[in-house]
A = this chain, B = another copy of it.
Amino acid sequence: MNNEDLNSTDDSPTKGIDEVVHQRVRLGLLTILNGARRVEFRFLQESMALTAGNLSQHIRVLEEAGLVRVTKGVDGRRPRTWVSITHNGRTALHVEVASLKALIERVESAN
């Protein structure tokens, strides 16, 4: 996000929306992760129909923002990567949901 994307006025209907969370793939990932204790990398990849590279990139953005945590382990002899949402990740997702609700209300009240 750069400065020119900041919302500085009250009239913006996307005030309070953070692109780290709002971006389509990352919003989907956080939504899936929010419903589970931890989720395997491969499951996320299949659920969102992403390449491993693309999923890794989005997970890195979320991890750097402190919204998800990545742990590596083995299941039998197979290496596994698990992803889980952090406390801050849940908070960020709920902030996003609150902003989206306000936007939806604005759209619907205009009809």
Contacts and interface: CB of A to CB of B under 8 A. Distances in A.
Interface stretch (A44-52, A61-69, A73-81): A44-52
A52 to B, nearest CB: 10
A50 B5 contact: yes
A49 B6 contact: yes
A72 interface: no
**Within the oligomer, what is the number of copies of this chain?**
2
B27 A14 contact: yes
Interface string A8-24: 11011110010100101
8 contacts: A4-B49, A4-B50, A12-B48, A13-B31, A14-B27, A34-B107, A34-B110, A97-B104
